[in-house]
Copies of this chain bind each other. A is one copy, B any other.
């Protein structure tokens, strides 16, 4: 009898739960139900610190076939959980700390990597245009490696309006990487490192024309040598700029 109860093929996940988890691959249902999915013990463990867990299945709760069916990963990681999305928060004040602004970053891997990088460099708030990938999509959640629990990701339909209001009539800098920007290593290119807004544009088109007009401090990560690619990957460019913003200032500080 004992064997019966410990039979590892006996799943405790119900059909309706399977249906629920599958539906959460779509933004429509994530928004309607206020839920999202994460996979793997490590990622789930990190997210539990920041979000309420609604369901969790691992080991004998779910068969490998069921897990494979539900997983968004090439190699499922043994555990899958459903979390509640957080309530919407007011958009952040750029006087309290540097806010990263994303204008149309569409690749989920890039967005996830950017969230992970923000966590590393102590950036607590990300404000995204409506055209940016959904931070609760499975690929983004996994790429954040749990950083989603600590970095607040906001969405706004009117990014330009947010930037205008957050910059407080030019009293705070609005940085943005542009092809004709100023070398980030020039003295004076980054007058404030701990406050203001840093705008990064989409993979294909960069910062949109409307938002570009609001950039008070255009920046460029200089390339080395000749014949280089036209641009850096947006997650890489974000990281290089954030690393420079967070770099300890030397005696010949540009502040």
Contact = CB atoms under 8 A, between A and B. Distances in A.
A232 B122 CA distance: 13
A233 B235 contact: yes
Given A229-B145, A252-B251, A224 B246 contact: yes
Residue among A146, A147, A239, A243 with max Cβ neighbours from chain B (10 Å)? A243
Contacts of A232: 116-117, 120, 239
A90 interface: no
Interface string A217-245: 00001011101111111011001100110
A247 to B, nearest CB: 6
A161 to B, nearest CB: 29
A18 to B, nearest CB: 26
Residue among A113, A229, A232 with max Cβ neighbours from chain B (10 Å)? A229
A248 interface: yes
A153 to B, nearest CB: 15
Contact of A250 (B122, B221, B243, B250): B250
A52 to B, nearest CB: 19
Interface of A: 46, 109, 113, 116-117, 119-122, 143-147, 150, 185, 221, 223-225, 227-233, 235-236, 239-240, 243-244, 246-248, 250-252
